[in-house]
């Protein structure tokens, strides 16, 4: 075994020990899939995303005496889910742009969390601007290349109609301005961007240039999205590792998934 391989083996052994001892916690950033969890609602002239549905096949009964199981249906974009580059027209020709084509190492990576919870509490249309990112970096250091960046808003605590927050002029929820996504993608080289809201874009994101800048810029550059995340308040600003592997759906544009973070124990 080479020295590098010995080092890597020792590192994984240390990780296994830390997971058992609790020095590294596994934090679940995922909402439970159930029929009540809201899905994005588009203007009525467009096709619509399906909620989660589950039907019982058998439950230790005449349909199957020793087993219980279900069929379920949903959209690729239902619940806590992953957006692949092919989800957006700007990313339709990106190589390896569907969930089944993305290399597995892309599903494990470092994560930075930008806390916008105070701003989002005061303003439901709170905007993540370049200045917010630069202020974060002044405290925590430059966002490392190939990191996930997650926008914490505590929006995941909302339930029912307050989650989509639909008004006469459409949904209202926080999100990034175009220049912030440009900074993250083209100057910091992030791997992807995630939010607690139903989309990576603000509720009013159709009014930016380009419309839906997170989708347009991220996916056009072959980067990924995560939305409907939870428990971002349990993550440090930096230093955690994100595990986010979508289902291997052929030509899939996204997928519900279990998002986990490996987090160093505080203190």
- Catalytically active residues, by annotation: 87
Stretch of 77-85, 133-141, 212-220, 257-265 lying at the interface with Mn ion (CB under 5 A): 77-85
Q: How far is the CB of 266 from Mn ion (least distance, A)?
A: 31
d(Cα 221, Cα 65) in Å, to the nearest integer? 51
Stretch of 157-165, 186-194, 216-224, 246-254 lying at the interface with Mn ion (CB under 5 A): 246-254
Stretch of 11-19, 60-68, 83-91, 106-114 lying at the interface with Mn ion (CB under 5 A): 83-91
Nearer to Mn ion, 31 or 77 (CB): 77
Compose the 30-69 pattern: x for residues touching Mn ion by CB under 5 A, - for all others.
----------------------------------------
CB-count exposure of residue 250 (10 Å: 0-12, 13-18, 19+): exposed
Sheet bearing 108-115, strands edge to edge: 24-28, 259-264, 240-244, 108-115, 148-152, 192-195, 224-227, 81-83, 254-256
**Binding residues with Mn ion: total (CB under 5 A):** 3
Nearer to Mn ion, 24 or 191 (CB): 191
Judged by CB under 5 A, does residue 83 bind Mn ion?
yes
Which positions from 225 through 244 interact with Mn ion, judged by CB under 5 A? none
Judged by CB under 5 A, does residue 115 bind Mn ion?
no
Judged by CB under 5 A, does residue 77 bind Mn ion?
yes
Chain centroid, CA 205 distance in Å: 17
CB-count exposure of residue 112 (10 Å: 0-12, 13-18, 19+): buried
Chain centroid, CA 131 distance in Å: 22
Distance spanning both ends of the chain, measured CA to CA: 36
> Residues 262, 24: contact at Cβ < 8 Å?
yes
Judged by CB under 5 A, does residue 201 bind Mn ion?
no
Please give the residue ranges that form the binding site for Mn ion (CB under 5 A). 77, 83, 254
């Amino acid at each position: 075994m080479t020295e590098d391989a010995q080092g890597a083996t020792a590192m994984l052994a240390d990780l296994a020990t830390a997971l058992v001892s609790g020095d590294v916690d596994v934090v679940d950033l995922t909402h439970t899939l159930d029929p009540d969890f809201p899905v994005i609602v588009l203007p009525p002239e467009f096709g619509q995303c399906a909620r989660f549905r589950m039907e019982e096949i058998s439950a230790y009964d005449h349909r199957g005496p020793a087993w219980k199981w279900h069929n379920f249906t949903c959209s690729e974009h239902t619940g806590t889910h992953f957006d692949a580059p092919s989800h957006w027209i700007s990313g339709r020709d990106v190589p390896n742009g569907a969930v089944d084509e993305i290399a597995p190492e892309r599903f494990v990576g470092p994560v930075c969390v930008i806390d916008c919870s105070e701003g989002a509490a005061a303003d439901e249309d709170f905007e993540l601007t370049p200045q917010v990112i630069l202020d974060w970096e002044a405290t925590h250091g430059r966002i490392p290349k190939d990191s996930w960046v997650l926008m914490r808003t505590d929006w995941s605590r909302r339930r029912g109609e307050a989650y989509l927050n639909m008004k006469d002029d459409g949904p209202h929820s926080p999100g990034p301005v175009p220049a912030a996504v440009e900074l993250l993608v083209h100057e910091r080289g992030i791997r992807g961007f995630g939010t607690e809201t139903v989309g990576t874009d603000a509720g009013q994101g159709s009014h930016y240039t380009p419309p839906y800048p997170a989708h347009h810029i991220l996916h056009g550059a072959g980067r990924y999205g995560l939305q409907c995340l939870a428990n971002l308040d349990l993550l440090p600003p930096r230093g955690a590792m994100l595990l986010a592997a979508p289902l291997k759906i052929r030509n899939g544009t996204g997928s519900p998934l279990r998002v986990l973070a490996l987090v160093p124990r505080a203190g």
